[in-house]
Amino acid sequence: LVGKDRASELYLKIKEKVSNRVGIDFEKREFSQNCLPRKIIEFISFANKDPRIVGIIVQLPFPKKLLPRSLEILGAIDPAKDVDCLTPINFGLLAMGKSRFLPATVRGIMAIIKNFKFQSALRVSNRRMAEWTNSKIVIVGGSNIVGKPLALHLSNLGATVTLCHSRTKDLASFTRTADILISATGVPGLIREEMVKKGVAVIDVGSPRGDVDFEKVVKKASFITPVPGGVGPLTVVSLLENVFKAAKKITNS
């Protein structure tokens, strides 16, 4: 964790609590927002070499000051321990359809899409590519940790994906076409009732407040995830699944 961020601190507390519950040792290391990138990279390099450590994440966002150095810092993580898919190498592999780890939030969203019963026309499965072609997926938000990797992953599975962002001109003209609408912008209330079609499945990735006007959109949607209690808890579980996956790889090699 770099710098002070109340939301990040809360997320890490939850990650620590759930880790301990499932038998994963969790260690938080804090750096001040004024610390030199070299110090963070040094620590990551030690963690890379420590055989007791199987997974490393940097809780995002970085403080503004460190943003220009963020790629350098994230890139220092050993890709084999990169359980949140933060490194350029793992992002590249994901883009090319050879992902080692999905970002935890993306894995959580995939669990929702695969496991919840959408209307039959929208039912999708990664085993049958033909079923992906039935639904139009619109993602709002192009972050490196959610929107972009999710769009790439779904596209690799055979889905047709439209990637928008919070300032897309006439955003509603895109969102209204969606059978599955995923919003991950961090702009509370961005998605309003008139921006979705009846029967849409909505996945709200906004946090700590939802991107979606839940009270109104719930009336039109066939499926909708709440905030809190929707994607958030699945992100934590997905991260820990990635940790087990990383541990298994180390044990097998």
Active-site residues: which are they?
Answer: 15, 59, 84
Smaller CB distance to ligand GUN: residue 74 or 196? 74
The window from 12-20, 51-59, 66-74, 222-230 that contacts ligand GUN (CB under 6 A) reads 51-59
Name which of residues 6 to 25 contact ligand GUN (CB under 6 A).
11
Binding mask 58-87 for ligand GUN (x = CB under 6 A): xxx-----------------------x---
Interface with ligand GUN in residues 84-113 (CB under 6 A)? 84, 104-105
Residue 209 CB, shortest distance to ligand GUN, in Å, is 13
Closer CB to ligand GUN, 84 or 179, in the complex: 84
Backbone angles phi, psi at 128, to 5 degrees: -115, 95
What is the number of alpha carbons within 13 Å of residue 142 lying toward its C-beta? 8
- Stretch of 29-37, 56-64, 74-82, 127-135 contacting ligand GUN, by CB under 6 A: 56-64
- Write out the two tokens for 5: 């961020």
Sign of CA dihedral 56, 28, 67, 231: positive
Smallest separation (angstroms) from ligand GUN to the CB of 83: 9
Determine phi and psi for 219, rounding to 5 degrees: -70, -25
Report whether the peptide linkage leading into residue 208 is cis, meaning its omega lies within 30 degrees of zero.
yes
Q: Which helix (H) or strand (E) holds 115?
A: helix 104-115
237 binds ligand GUN (CB under 6 A): no
Q: What angle do CA 102, 103, 108 make, to 5 degrees?
A: 85
Binding positions for ligand GUN, 160-179, rule CB under 6 A: none
Residue number of the CB atom closest to ligand GUN: 60
Residues 107-146 that bind ligand GUN (CB under 6 A): 145
Rounded to the nearest 5°, which phi and psi values hold at 113? -60, -40
DSSP helix/strand/coil, 23 = coil
Which is nearer to ligand GUN, 108 or 195 (by Cβ)?
108
What is the smallest separation between the CB atom of 58 and ligand GUN, expressed in angstroms? 6
Instruction: Decide: residue 231, CB within 10 A, 0-12 exposed, 13-18 middle, 19+ buried.
Output: buried
Alpha helices by DSSP H, 128-190: 129-132, 147-156, 171-175
DSSP secondary structure code for residue 61 in this structure: P
Site membership for ligand GUN, residue 241 (CB under 6 A): no
Chain residues binding ligand GUN by CB under 6 A are 11, 57-60, 84, 104-105, 145, 235
